[in-house]
Amino acid sequence: MHEFRFKNNRLYCENVAVEAVARRFGTPLYVYSYRTFVVHFRKLKAAFRAVRPLICYSVKANSNLAILRVLVREGAGLDIVSGGELYRALKAGCPPQRIVYASVGKTDAEIEEAIRRGILFFNVESLPELENINRIAGRLRKKTDVALRINPDVEPKTHRYITTGKLTNKFGIDFRTAKKILMLGQALTHVRIRGIHIHIGSQITIGEPFVEAIKKVVAFIAAMKARGIAVEYLNIGGGLGIIYKNEKPQTAVEFARKVLPVLRKSGLKIIMEPGRFIIGSAAVLVTKVLYIKKTPLKKFVIVDAGMNDLIRPSLYDAHHRIVPLAARSGQSEKADVVGPICESGDFFAKARRLPKVREGEYLAVMSAGAYGFSMASNYNSRRRPAEILVRGSSVTVIRRRESFEDLIRNEGR
């Protein structure tokens, strides 16, 4: 579901014509629909009502402060993966007790700051990290809660770069080691192991891998409990897929129907960490066609956005629908849609059938809300795009376009 629709052959975001926004603020431009991401958050919350989960939105999917503030106000917690995201989470007004912190490589400074702020949990990814947190917590004289991130070794059937729950991945702890750590954990004086965490991958469109992983960890938790070692929390991570092309991802309700029985039976407090599901379809990247270039072999549509603005096609071979802001029927042609960056990997689509587009017209790259701006860079000394939030008929700049001055701000004079 999203709020980008054609009315009289013009693409609208909620009640606003996207082209009007593009003309006003220039391109490339991210345009977000408030209603889309809020509704997604609410749908997930409603579907899981029976277990009243803490839904920690995954900040790395899109970390714009305005978006974080809206979700925090809706009752979301935040899932963070760095000191920078902790800073953003606190700036967005998130109560520390709604923050969970994963990452295989937390530094001492990051750990110390998170302990001082009193976050809900660290999601611990190795024994050395746990010992380090214990040591730092001891020095700060502040007992700290952690969850163990388990690598349940399941195959989520998604792109290999976004698979995180196989034993060949760097994430989490295998069951045998987790068992040892839980037993040893009793002896660590400054940490309490209060939960188990999993996050098996991203853009997962079916329920089975989640069910498989959750069943494995619930059985593990029960076995540990039988030995007198109990935890209260189960964090099932994120990873819910969305539609980019012709996927049929599970809805929140279908997902809940699959996993709720296991979750309810476990009696554990539930946390989840959706990112893409909330924000993925809530934005488009608007770009202008600069040139149509015909070569003996191909036709290239050269646009003013590049892989620095949206890297998913280059990085994951990801498919994003591309539509002209002005819809039309008639002829279509195959073309590569490419950016201006000096890399052959700088493309948004290859051999894509598109309506015949003209120089100077605008295109929307759809479903660009997740891992879009948050992965943007300044490569080729390009200024990162502006971000616009549309709510009903209102239009707000939630990040201004970078200036040339911004590009050199931290460099020596």
Ligand X SMILES: *Cc1c(COP(=O)(O)O)cnc(C)c1O
Active site residues: 342
- Closest distance to ligand X from the beta carbon of 204 (Å): 8
DSSP, res 301: E
What's the closest the beta carbon of residue 194 comes to ligand X, in angstroms? 17
Distance CA(325)–CA(12), nearest Å, equals 8
Kindly give the pairing relationship between strand 362-365 and strand 322-324.
antiparallel
Which residue from 3, 19, 79, 125 is in contact with ligand X, where contact means CB under 6 A? Answer: 79
Helix (H) or strand (E) holding 183: helix 175-185
Tokens representing 317 are: 């071979």
Nearer to ligand X, 28 or 156 (CB): 156
Cα first-last separation, the chain: 49
Q: How far is the CB of 298 from ligand X (least distance, A)?
A: 33
Q: Which of 257, 243, 278, 175 is nearest to 210 (CA)?
A: 257
Give the per-residue contact string, 338-377, with ligand X (x = CB under 6 A; - = no): --------------------------------x-------
C-alpha 305/C-alpha 173 separation (Å) is 40
- Binding part of the chain for ligand X, among 138-146, 234-242, 317-325, 372-380 by CB under 6 A, reads 234-242
Q: Measured from the CB of residue 6, what is the shortest distance to ligand X in angstroms?
A: 28
Quick check: 61 binds ligand X (CB under 6 A)?
yes
Q: Write each residue from 4 to 43 as x if it is in contact with ligand X (CB under 6 A), else as -, in one continuous string.
A: ----------------------------------------
Strand runs labelled E in 88-200: 99-101, 121-124, 144-149, 191-197
Residues 182-211 that bind ligand X (CB under 6 A): 199, 202
Cα–Cα distance for residue pair 334/277, rounded to 1 Å = 30
Report the residue number, 198 or 285, with the smaller CB distance to ligand X: 198
Judged by CB under 6 A, does residue 274 bind ligand X? yes
SS3 of residue 258 by DSSP? helix
| Nearest-angstrom CA–CA distance, 65 and 116 | 22
Q: Are 197 and 146 in contact (CB under 8 A)?
A: no
Judged by CB under 6 A, the residue of 60, 88, 288, 320 near ligand X is: 60
Comparison of 102 and 395: residue with beta carbon closer to ligand X: 102
Tokens 């329920």, residue located: 207
Q: Is 239 in the site for ligand X (CB under 6 A)?
A: yes
The Cα 66–Cα 215 span in angstroms is 37
Nearest distance from C-beta of residue 363 to ligand X, angstroms: 25
The minimum distance between CB 121 and ligand X, in angstroms, equals 11
Q: Which of residues 97-126 bind ligand X (CB under 6 A)?
A: 102
Q: Based on the number of CB atoms within 10 Å of its own CB, is 163 exposed (0-12), middle (13-18) or buried (19 or more)? A: buried
Total of chain residues touching ligand X, rule CB under 6 A: 18
When asked if residue 238 is in the footprint of ligand X (CB under 6 A), the reply is yes
Pairing of the two strands 16-17 and 191-197: unpaired
In angstroms, give the least distance from the CB of 57 to ligand X: 9
Select 240 or 376, whichever has its Cβ closest to ligand X: 240
Q: Does 275 bind ligand X (CB under 6 A)?
A: yes
Distances (CA, A) of 173 to 226, 243, 252, 315, 382: 21, 31, 28, 27, 40
- Closer to ligand X by CB, 79 or 387: give it: 79
What is d(CA 151, CA 196) in angstroms, rounded to the nearest whole number? 10
Q: Return the number of the residue (239 or 339) whose C-beta is nearest ligand X.
A: 239
Helix, strand, or coil (residue 367) = coil
CB of 23 to ligand X, least distance (A): 32
Report phi then psi at 307, rounded to 5.
-65, -20
Pick the stretch among 31-39, 83-91, 274-282, 345-353 that binds ligand X (CB under 6 A): 274-282
Q: Can residue 58 be called a binding residue for ligand X (CB under 6 A)?
A: yes
Of 288 and 320, CB closest to ligand X: 320
Minimum CB distance to ligand X smaller for 98 or for 288? 98
User: Tokens in use for 208?
Assistant: 């089975």
The yes or no reply on residue 273 touching ligand X (CB under 6 A) is: yes
Rounded Cα gap, residues 166 and 212, in angstroms:
13
Q: Is 276 near ligand X (CB under 6 A)?
A: yes
- Kindly list the distances between the CA atom of residue 19 and the CA atoms of 9, 300, 328, in Å, as whole numbers in the listed order: 12, 22, 15
**Which residues lie near ligand X (CB under 6 A)?**
58, 60-61, 79, 81, 102, 199, 202, 237-240, 273-277, 370
